[in-house]
Structure 1
Amino acid sequence: MEALFFSTGIVALAEIGDKTQLLALLIAARYKKPIPIILGIFVATILNHAGAAALGTWITGFFGADTLRWILGGSFIAMAVWMLIPDKLDDDTKLLDRFGVFGATLIAFFLAEMGDKTQIATVALSARYHDLFMVVVGTTLGMMIANVPAVLLGEVAARKLPKHIVHRVAASLFAVLGIVTLAI
């Protein structure tokens, strides 16, 4: 259960102000159809994070416990630093119009998550907890916790959230996890 709860919390915090949350706001403002947008985010996240978690689980077979501990600890600390760097969103959703609301959302979110903080976090969390299913459920739930309100409440909610504080809290959690991983 620790994998589920930690994965949910860390990804929900990491997603606040992230480019995919900004993308959720952009798509919601453009299409004004929350159900297909939310479903597109959900499917894209499951596909993306399942692949990332599988990679994290697979990687653990190639390294000894001590080497893996240093890699994971360093990765979590690097994530802490990365959390403090604001995201910017490059908008070119015109190409996605032909796929409809669900398809546009699914494609945009899947591509936006490639190499994103939450995808890298999913790889590291899966390697750390060795529980692919709970990590995918947790990271997907974290993405939905952060993005569904963005879709439903739109830009007003995004302006009221103190992104810099949320990013600092998430960075602190990654740093603590990195230090704990290195200390074990």
Structure 2
Amino acid sequence: MEAFLVSTGVVALGEMGDKTQLLAIVLAAKYRKPWPIVAGILLATVLNHALAGAVGAWVAHALGPELLRWVLGGSFLAMAVWMLVPDQVDDEVPGSDRHWGVFFTTVLAFFLAEMGDKTQIATVALAARYPEWWAVVAGTTLGMMLANVPAVFMGEAIARKLSMKLVHAIAAGIFAVVGGVTLVGGLPW
């Protein structure tokens, strides 16, 4: 349960103001069909994060516990710093050709936008940290949906109302704590 809850919280906060959230706003403004966009985000996220979770589980197995602790601790601390770097959405939406339709355009755009993104790398690191990689994938997927579904339905109003610096600072703090705890060998309980 810890893997699921930590993954959900970290990704939901980390996704605020991220390029994929901005992409959700752009797609919603362009197509004005929220349900195919939400379904496309869900499918793209499940596919992308399942792949990332499998990679994370493989990394955990391949490195061994001692080396893995140092790699993960450093990775989480690096993610904490990276969270403080603001994202921007590209002007051109990948696969935005009308003949693809809203759903497939969203799947393609989100899958590609997540490649190498903070949340994908966080999914790899969390899946390496927790033995229940499937719970990590479920949590990161839920976190993505919690951040992006409101963006689809409320569009730019969200971006105007929230302080992205504060949200990113909180997410950075969570990554820093998880990294520090990982480096010192875990929590005592």
Aligned counterparts of 2:179 and 2:27: Cα–Cα separation in 1: 34
Determine whether 1:45 maps to 2:52. no
Aligned counterparts of 2:35 and 2:69: Cα–Cα separation in 1: 41
Give the 4+ runs in structure 1 shifted more than 4 A. Answer: none
Counterpart in 2 of 1:3?
Answer: 3
Distance 1:56 1:95, change over 3 A: closer
Aligned counterparts of 1:137 and 1:94: Cα–Cα separation in 2: 26
Aligned counterparts of 2:45 and 2:94: Cα–Cα separation in 1: 22
Deviations 1:4-58 (A, max 9, x none): 0000000000000000000000000000000000000000000000000000001
Matches within 5 A, 1:28-43: 28-43=28-43
Aligned counterparts of 2:43 and 2:36: Cα–Cα separation in 1: 10
Aligned counterparts of 1:175 and 1:115: Cα–Cα separation in 2: 20
Aligned counterparts of 1:39 and 1:94: Cα–Cα separation in 2: 17
Aligned counterparts of 1:49 and 1:167: Cα–Cα separation in 2: 21
Aligned counterparts of 1:94 and 1:62: Cα–Cα separation in 2: 34
Counterpart in 2 of 1:67?
Answer: 67
Counterpart in 2 of 1:16?
Answer: 16
Determine whether 1:103 maps to 2:109. no
Partner SS, residue 96 of structure 1? coil
Distance 1:44 1:95, change over 3 A: closer
Contact map agreement 2:3 2:130 (CA 8 A) in 1: yes
Q: Which runs of 5+ in 1 are unaligned?
A: none
| TM-score scaled by length of structure 1 | 0.98
Query: How many angstroms does 1:89 deviate by?
Result: 1.3
Aligned counterparts of 1:73 and 1:42: Cα–Cα separation in 2: 29
Aligned counterparts of 1:95 and 1:2: Cα–Cα separation in 2: 37
Aligned counterparts of 1:85 and 1:32: Cα–Cα separation in 2: 30
Query: How many angstroms does 1:181 deviate by?
Result: 0.0
Query: How many angstroms does 1:95 deviate by?
Result: 4.3
Partner SS, residue 93 of structure 1? coil
Contact map agreement 2:95 2:108 (CA 8 A) in 1: no
Q: Which runs of 5+ in 2 are unaligned?
A: none
Aligned counterparts of 1:91 and 1:35: Cα–Cα separation in 2: 23
- Which residue identity lines up with residue 164 of structure 2 in the other structure? K
| TM-score scaled by length of structure 2 | 0.95
Query: How many angstroms does 1:96 deviate by?
Result: 2.0
Report the RMSD for the aligned CA atoms in angstroms: 0.9
Counterpart in 1 of 2:79?
Answer: 79
Aligned counterparts of 1:112 and 1:52: Cα–Cα separation in 2: 14
Aligned counterparts of 1:93 and 1:22: Cα–Cα separation in 2: 11
